[in-house]
Amino acid sequence: MGNTMKTEGNLDERLFKREGVPPLSSLVPMSLQHVLASFAGVITPAMMIATTCKFTPEQEAAIIQVALILSAIDTLLQQFPLFGRIGAGLPILTGASFAFLPVMQAVGGEFGFSVVLGSQLIGGIVAVVFGLFYDKVKRFFPPLVTGTVIFTIGVSLYPTAIKYIAGGVGTPGFGSAQNWLVGLVTFALTFGLTNFTTGITKIGSIFFAMLIGCLVSIPFGMIDASAISGASWFSLPQFMPYELKFDPAVCITVGIIYVMVNVQLIGDLSAAVAGSMDRMPKGREISGGIMAQGLVSIISSMFGGLPTSAFGQNVGIIVSTKVINRWVFGGAALTFMAAGLCPKLSALLLMIPQPVIGGATISVFGTITLNGIRILVKDGLTPRTCTIFGVSVAFGLGIAQVSGSLTGTGMPVWINTIFGTSAITPCAVMAIVLNLLMPPEPIEESEALKVADSGDHDAEDSGEAETAEA
């Protein structure tokens, strides 16, 4: 697919390789579409924590600033590993994450933001240790587990996209016709540019669709530029703006959450690499990616920020476009850095209406889901695979969709904190446990199922595999 796009659209081949610096005409739109797809995801968790902890406007601005800067640092580490070890060296965009939001809100609301930062420091240390010893524990995360987690990540992102299209939960006019009109127009543009054009408009479809979507939203009064004039040109984050406090129970809970989010990172890295580079990430790459996020989390706790993780919507973009050049992601990181250091630029990006973001990104979420399926079926759909996948997804999505299912009488609060706030955690835990408990598939039965599943397509599939290997 990548070679076809390069031929048809006369695109620079360096876009589809890790090394080399593409021309600015290709680099800028590719980087900016990653920024536009994830910007709301970077700042929204910070804004929601600010609301939970009753921050002043100055404190809210500060936590948003740190979220942007640390998102930039994490992404840069993933592209250009520190000492060749801390960072994955793979195509991925990372930043302040929704994955930690439920537990951070619960802790912040009950104990205060200082306890959030203290538990975040401990969680970062747990992540670094997990990354260091990943080779020892990677047997717990085979393709069956990561594929199941990737599928769940994709499905769990669908409501997020719909919430964006509808205007953002809790906002005036949520679910209004004008929000849906702008969102659907943006989606239609993204779909059309992706499927009916070639070259830069094809792989940059999200960027161009969002630009037009913003123009469409202007007559509806959805763009407010007043915040730009009041924002300053330059600002530095403050070191240790809050005291770090440590609650043992909270630290244990958050430490477990960090491990589960690291499983999600493994899934995101696997999805991005499998879909764009046609391979699975190596153990050293995953280890480096986990350690980078742990280090950034430790730094973030000292500057009053939030932990980071991979952005699922950007994984979808990577898989869809096959653009893997490290400078594309480096450009996105530098944009985040500039927005963090220049509040005026941050205010400009904040102008983008949520329906535009939702309409542009919903089409890529399905790509993540399908990539999870791709990993699952690679070695055949055996009864063992189907059982582990089906049960894990059922528990993950089922618990997430039933609010309060883990909050009844006699149920410890930490159970809901860990398992009741995200579909990914119960799904990942169940997949890991079942994979360890269930006996291996009998070879004869496994091979028979593969033959039955492939049918008359064996010869065709074999030819395709040989071509791909060549």
pLDDT at 113 (0 to 100): 92
Higher-confidence position of 325 and 418? 325
Domain of residue 171 covers 2-374
pLDDT at 468 (0 to 100): 43
Going by pLDDT thresholds of 50, 70 and 90, the confidence category of residue 203 is low
Asked if pLDDT for residue 118 goes beyond 50, the answer is yes
158 within domain boundaries: yes
Give the percent of the chain with pLDDT over 70: 87
39 within domain boundaries: yes
204 within domain boundaries: yes
Please state the rounded mean pLDDT for residues 174-184.
91
Measured at the CA of 144, the angle between CA 143 and CA 146, to 5 degrees, comes to 60
Residues in the chain: 470
Higher-confidence position of 284 and 203? 284
Going by pLDDT thresholds of 50, 70 and 90, the confidence category of residue 2 is very low
What are the residues whose beta carbons fall under 8 Å from the beta carbon of 147, sequence distance 6 or more? 270, 372, 373, 374, 375, 376, 389
Contact at 8 Å (CB) between 271 and 111? Answer: no
As a whole number, the mean pLDDT across the chain is 82
Higher-confidence position of 429 and 170? 429
pLDDT at 417 (0 to 100): 67
Please state the rounded mean pLDDT for residues 157-163.
80
Higher-confidence position of 231 and 339? 339
288 within domain boundaries: yes
234 within domain boundaries: yes
Q: Residue 151 and residue 373: Cα distance in Å, rounded?
A: 6
The conformation of residue 427, written as its DSSP 8-state character, comes to: H
pLDDT at 421 (0 to 100): 66
Q: Residue 174 and residue 348: Cα distance in Å, rounded?
A: 22
Residue with tokens 């589960």: 260
Please state the rounded mean pLDDT for residues 305-316.
83
Going by pLDDT thresholds of 50, 70 and 90, the confidence category of residue 6 is very low
Determine how many CB atoms are found less than 10 A away from the CB of residue 421: 21
pLDDT at 445 (0 to 100): 55
Higher-confidence position of 4 and 20? 20
Tell me the whole-structure pTM to 2 decimals. Answer: 0.69
405 within domain boundaries: no
Give the percent of the chain with pLDDT over 90: 28
Going by pLDDT thresholds of 50, 70 and 90, the confidence category of residue 295 is very high
Q: Which of 116-125, 136-145, 437-446, 457-466 has the highest mean pLDDT?
A: 116-125
pLDDT at 9 (0 to 100): 53
Tell me the DSSP string of 292-312.
HHHHHHHHHHHTT---EEE-H
432 within domain boundaries: no
Contact at 8 Å (CB) between 37 and 314? Answer: yes
Q: Which of 243-247, 350-354, 375-379 has the highest mean pLDDT?
A: 243-247
Q: Which of 27-41, 233-247, 443-457 has the highest mean pLDDT?
A: 233-247
pLDDT at 7 (0 to 100): 40
Asked if pLDDT for residue 321 goes beyond 70, the answer is yes
Q: How many domains is the chain partitioned into structurally? A: 1
Interval 25-67: pLDDT, tens: 888 888 988 887 777 668 777 876 887 788 887 787 888 889 9
pLDDT at 274 (0 to 100): 86
Interval 372-411: pLDDT, tens: 787 788 777 888 999 999 999 999 899 888 888 888 888 8
3-state secondary structure of 82: strand
Least confident of 133-142, 357-366, 454-463: 454-463
pLDDT at 98 (0 to 100): 66
Going by pLDDT thresholds of 50, 70 and 90, the confidence category of residue 303 is very high
Q: Residue 15 and residue 324: Cα distance in Å, rounded?
A: 6
Q: Are strands 308-310 and 94-96 parallel, antiparallel or unpaired?
A: antiparallel
